[in-house]
Amino acid sequence: MKLNKEYIVDNLKTIFYALIIAMIIRSLFFQPFYIPSSSMEPTLLVGDRLFVTKYSYGYSKHSFPFSPNFSKNRFFFKEPKRGDVVVFKTPTDNRTDFIKRLIGLPGDVIQFINGDLFINNNQVIKTKIIKPKKLIYCGNNTVETIFYEEKLPNGVKYLAVYRKEGSYQNSDKYIVPPNHYFFLGDNRDCSKDSRFLSSVGYVNKQNLVGRAQVIFFSSDIRKGRIFELWNWNKIIRFDRFFSRIKYQ
């Protein structure tokens, strides 16, 4: 049977338009991301898949696929809030996506003193949380941790975990430059973040990609592969489906 030329052209047009629409949605509205590391446990787990809103902080070249270098400006910029869970491009290569919690705004002074987080010389309030299970992943290993609820100056609360032994204690003062932000992972002793100036450091507002909003799917890749239907009760984290990232 010969394929009608008009039929082929119509199908190619449909595919083309579908790709254009998908690119517009991905660039301007929502983009899915996969969590590959344990740096944001317990908030985000390895294997979580979430939607990030691209319009939350306006748009830059990093809002679009392959970060085309069409402008050095950010359009319709909206200031991110302290405590937001943010996807950004790492300053070292302007290509790799990281996701961390926003702790320091431009001009802030961030420091760790005896294991406590200070913002502008004020200690962040943290309350110890009693959890029956205190093991948290760090890479492929598990470590015993202490759970805390931290409360930022603007009232945002979240869970942060620190190693029970050998936790990060003291740092120099980090002074956040203008138009830059300071990020930390909630898994404080297993996170490469703004404390590491040579690899992440302060993040320019141009590098912000979007704000994490909702987990739409989650699977524990350590317990098996997704096509192992007989293990879905162990692999799929059904309780995390469509759970929102909380910003209290």
Per-residue burial over 112-144, b = 16 or more CB atoms within 10 Å of its CB, e = otherwise: beeebbbbeeeebebeeeeeeeeebbbeeeebe
| pLDDT 10s digits, 204-232 | 999 999 999 999 999 998 887 777 777 88
For residues 80 and 78, what is the distance between their CA atoms, to the nearest angstrom?
A: 6
What confidence score (pLDDT) does residue 10 get? 75
Q: In angstroms, how far apart are the furthest CA atoms of the chain?
A: 77
Q: Is the pLDDT of residue 185 over 50?
A: yes
C-alpha 226/C-alpha 219 separation (Å) is 7
Residue 156 belongs to a domain with what CATH number?
Answer: 2.10.109.10
- Of 54, 61, 89, 100, which residue is the catalytic one? 100
Residue-range definition of the domain harbouring residue 185: 5-244
Q: Between 101 and 94, where is the model more confident?
A: 101
39: annotated active-site residue: yes
Active site residue 234: no
pLDDT, position 1: 46
The pLDDT of residue 11 is above 80: no
Quote the tokens at residue 177.
Answer: 């430059």
Euclidean distance between CA atoms 211 and 188, whole angstroms: 20
Q: What sign does the CA torsion over 8, 9, 10, 15 have?
A: positive
- Looking at residue 22, its pLDDT comes to 79
How many domains, the chain? 1
Q: pLDDT tens across 15-74, in order?
A: 888 888 878 888 889 999 999 999 999 999 999 999 999 999 999 999 988 888 888 889
* Three-class DSSP category at 138: strand
Q: Which residue out of 37, 39, 63, 194 is catalytically annotated? A: 39
Q: Give the tens place of pLDDT for each residue, 113-153.
A: 999 999 999 999 999 998 766 789 998 889 999 999 999 99
